[in-house]
Chains A and B, each alone.
Chain A
Amino acid sequence: MGIEVNGRKIDWIENESVSKLLKRMKYTFPLVVVKINKDIVLRSEFNNKIIPDNSKIDVVHMISGG
């Protein structure tokens, strides 16, 4: 059991929402686009959308910096 977040393997936690995952990853930056197995998750669904086991998550930080 496990998921991949931005290419890094981590444990899967049952009933973990996108918001909770972001918190666990310490991704505090507000402007992120989240994709679960390539499907975009709407921001309004971050609290409800549950991360399935074995999924691949992309958390794209929309920051350009410098």
Chain B
Amino acid sequence: MVDGQIQIQNYNTGNSKNNWDLNKIKLKHKTICEYEYAKKDIQKGYANRTLYVNLSNGIIKEKKVTEEMKKLFTGGRGFGLKLLWDSIKPNTRWDSDENELIITTGPLCGVTQYPGSGKSLCLTISPSTDIICDSNVGGFFGPYLKFAGFDAIEIQGKAKEDVIIIIDGEKGKISIETAPLEETNSHMISEQLTQMYASENNDESKQKISIVSAGKGAENSYWGCLNFSFYDIRRKYPRLKQAGRGGLGSVLRNKKIKAILTKVEKFDGVSNNPADAETLAKVGTKLHREIRDLDRYQCNMRAVGTVHLVEIMDDYDLLPTENYRFGSFPKASKLYSPNFYKLFTKIIPDGCWHGCTMACAKTVDCFTVMTGPYKGEKVTVDGPEYETVGCGSNMSIWDPLWILEFNFYCDTYGLDTISTGTAIAFYMEMYEYGILNKKRCDGLELCFGNAEAVLEFMHRIARGEKSDFIAIASKGIRRVKDWLIKNKWGDTHIIEECGMESKGLEYSEYVTKESLAMQGGYGLTLKGPQHDEAWLIFMDMVNNAIPTFKDKAEALHYFPMWRTWFGLNGLCKLPWNDVEPRNNAEIDDPSKVPEHVQNYVDYQNAVTGWDVNKEELILQSERCYNWQRAMNVWLGRGRRKDDWIPYRSMGPVTVMEYISRKDRYDKNLIEKIGISDEKIEKMETEEKIKIIYDFRKDQYQKLSDAVYYRRGWTPNGVPTPEKMKKLGLKDTKMLKMLQDKIVKDEKAGLNNWGGNYKNKNEKPNNGIKYW
């Protein structure tokens, strides 16, 4: 026993008990359609088929996974992209009948020997962005989907009434049943269905079930997340992990799906049937030891999860406060990790899939809910993670207990904490400037720090209230910007530049003003400003390891490709670089964690029986990355203008922001722009802001130029047919579409570099039509 660990039999969460009449609830189910399938073993990480379900016409069928599909798309997100390409149209929108919700696994998903191997990758056309959104998530669903027989599930169409989809790997049967009486909110329906569908009333049976759901918030907003359950035998309770970004949960509820349930007959350490179990065990054991020995001296993920980042971000002026105006705040120490550590239940292990020694999935049990429909009940809160705490800071709310309440309701309502928190922070700033006010906010005083108003706003969304403000504000920053501008309620510049969204998606919680590379890490992305493509702040801003445009472009090529790879395989990114070998910083390219990269080469080969090297891992990603960008182009976006970011993420929008970091910005004017000390002394702040504004915007254009060039795209950000062919992607429909779009851009004069170059040799390339 580890110090502080509680024996399973002695632990009781102390949560409130629910007394449902589950028989009555189940009796109300009507089976709409059923489909029986042959059960088969997994072969070298693949089930070799995907599952297609159409809710409009009741068609359920299997689709074969070919060797060609594995070669070109690897698995996971790659398979999802291929399935989407074959099923949607360029004018498909999030609520179109043909839009799909896809949940994929990946060949390494379900392995228990290597930490972090239980992730699912979900895809859809997002309500926020009108392009593909992908989001990864832990919990048991992905591995169970595969062990039940499928590498992915693809759901098209819409049901007429609320349904659940059941994938029964025990019986080899898929069914769609109406579900009129189940709760919608996730912490309730996950528990109901776990109890209802467990073969026997014991932990072992309950552990063989996993549920995907989204709550009332998802139903009534564009911020819907998907909650994936994993039954915790210590807490005797299905806990939740979220596929947060891009409104996947909103699509689930738009299709009238209350839940998707997977059940397995059995699973164990060899269910994934690896080609070389011995090597797999060897590589896995090495990392288990490393985590055990080093985590406590490095990120301390096992004790506090990702919350350890709060104090670091605050120290380095990167923790967003008051809608990213500042990067640190005197009260921030109230949200430092020791304050959450005190609240976490100290039972270990705490992984979201079996075999994850990193075990970062923390909880607070027996939390007494303070507001809303569950007021007074005692519940388990999963998390919080760094991003959720960062939302508190961004709204200037400094109470750890309030963060737990916010986290609980976001999860059970199926609201993405990041989009919800970032958007409200923007509404608060607009409130401060009088652009929004109590009347325009439907009676809510949404000023910074008003914790009560935030929760009331969320409850109103969940209740489906339809006032102008709730209806528009629940669709996110982009729609609110348009609404404010249309009504002429404020200065367009302030509204556009302060609202932290790009492509329609809200930013995650890092201040990027002083890191150009990280600005690109948010803007030059496929789905929008989420840090899962590249997190370069320290490498760029502090270590100064990528000083030139070329260096930054290289990083913005390598890291997105590398991080994409996790999603192709069903892996969690955290064990790659949230623990590092003892000597990592002393070797070349420490930010890539080369020893761990080699682990992944050995790992993929051991499971699939392939013989790939580290360059081929990048190639696997590059194919899918370019495919997704090409699909975004096909959907009418994916160009330079779509990669634009608000100025708040580049520099100071307001005088107050400038003054708060005056020394830094004045130094910037002297060192980067060449203005003399004497001149600066005489300049008004507004004038200085304008000069920095023009300079930094130009820097971002130049960065975009360098990145597009490095990625092999046109100056307008379109992957070329030549690039696609080089990657082995020869789909004629796609190649023709890209060629047509490039010709159209050319005619419109859009194939030009965006930076203002004084010397033509500074451009990434001087050749006309270099592509």
Q: Which residues of A contact B (CB under 8 A)?
A: 6-8, 26-29, 31, 33, 40, 58-66
B 543-563 contacts with A by CB, 8 A: 543-545, 547
Q: Which residues of B contact A (CB under 8 A)?
A: 297-299, 309, 312, 315-316, 508, 510, 531-532, 535, 537-538, 542-545, 547, 576-578, 580, 584-586, 590-591, 593
* In the bound complex, CA of A60 to CA of B589 (Å): 11
Told that A61-B543, A64-B578 touch, could you supply 13 new A-B pairs with CB distance under 8 A?
Answer: A31-B298, A33-B586, A59-B542, A59-B543, A63-B312, A63-B538, A64-B299, A64-B576, A64-B591, A65-B510, A65-B535, A66-B510, A66-B532
**Interchain nearest-CB distance for A44 vs B (Å):** 14
Q: Which residues of A contact B532 (CB under 8 A)?
A: 66
7 A-B pairs in the complex with CB atoms less than 8 angstroms apart: A8-B544, A26-B315, A33-B585, A60-B585, A60-B590, A62-B298, A64-B578
Question: At the interface, is chain A mostly helix, strand, loop or mixed?
Answer: loop
* In the bound complex, CA of A61 to CA of B535 (Å): 13
- Output the nearest chain B residue to A5 by Cβ-Cβ distance: B544
Q: Which residues of B contact A33 (CB under 8 A)?
A: 585-586
Q: Which residues of B contact A29 (CB under 8 A)?
A: 312, 315-316
Q: Which residues of A contact B580 (CB under 8 A)?
A: 62, 64
Given that A8-B544, A59-B543 are known contacts, is A64 also in contact with B585, CB under 8 Å in the complex? no
Q: Which residues of B contact A7 (CB under 8 A)?
A: 544, 547
Contact B547 A64 (CB under 8 A): no
Given that A61-B538, A62-B298, A65-B537 are known contacts, is A6 also in contact with B544, CB under 8 Å in the complex? yes
- Output the nearest chain B residue to A63 by Cβ-Cβ distance: B538
Q: Which residues of B contact A40 (CB under 8 A)?
A: 586
Q: Which residues of A contact B537 (CB under 8 A)?
A: 65
Q: Which residues of A contact B545 (CB under 8 A)?
A: 6, 60
- Output the nearest chain B residue to A27 by Cβ-Cβ distance: B542
Q: Which residues of B contact A31 (CB under 8 A)?
A: 297-298
| Closest 10 pairs between A and B when the two form their complex, measured CB to CB | A66-B535, A64-B577, A66-B531, A33-B585, A7-B544, A6-B544, A65-B535, A28-B315, A61-B538, A60-B585
* In the bound complex, CA of A53 to CA of B538 (Å): 26
* In the bound complex, CA of A66 to CA of B591 (Å): 13
**Interchain nearest-CB distance for B305 vs A (Å):** 13
Contact B535 A62 (CB under 8 A): no
Given that A63-B538, A65-B535 are known contacts, is A6 also in contact with B298, CB under 8 Å in the complex? no
- Output the nearest chain B residue to A26 by Cβ-Cβ distance: B315
Contact B309 A65 (CB under 8 A): yes
Contact B584 A62 (CB under 8 A): yes
Contact A60 B578 (CB under 8 A): no
* In the bound complex, CA of A29 to CA of B538 (Å): 11
* In the bound complex, CA of A28 to CA of B313 (Å): 11
* In the bound complex, CA of A8 to CA of B531 (Å): 27
Q: Which residues of B contact A64 (CB under 8 A)?
A: 299, 535, 576-578, 580, 591, 593
Residue of A27, A58, A60, A64 most packed against chain B (CB within 10 A): A64
Q: Which residues of B contact A63 (CB under 8 A)?
A: 312, 538
Q: Which residues of B contact A62 (CB under 8 A)?
A: 298, 580, 584-585, 590
Contact B542 A6 (CB under 8 A): yes
Q: Which residues of A contact B510 (CB under 8 A)?
A: 65-66
Contact B543 A6 (CB under 8 A): yes
**Interchain nearest-CB distance for B395 vs A (Å):** 20
**Interchain nearest-CB distance for B603 vs A (Å):** 19
- Output the nearest chain B residue to A6 by Cβ-Cβ distance: B544
**Interchain nearest-CB distance for A35 vs B (Å):** 9
Q: Which residues of A contact B535 (CB under 8 A)?
A: 64-66
Contact A65 B585 (CB under 8 A): no
- Output the nearest chain B residue to A28 by Cβ-Cβ distance: B315
**Interchain nearest-CB distance for B577 vs A (Å):** 4
- Output the nearest chain B residue to A62 by Cβ-Cβ distance: B585
**Interchain nearest-CB distance for A37 vs B (Å):** 15
Q: Which residues of A contact B312 (CB under 8 A)?
A: 29, 63
**Interchain nearest-CB distance for B698 vs A (Å):** 22
**Interchain nearest-CB distance for A23 vs B (Å):** 12
- Output the nearest chain B residue to A65 by Cβ-Cβ distance: B535
* In the bound complex, CA of A40 to CA of B583 (Å): 11
**Interchain nearest-CB distance for B282 vs A (Å):** 24
**Interchain nearest-CB distance for A34 vs B (Å):** 10
* In the bound complex, CA of A28 to CA of B316 (Å): 8
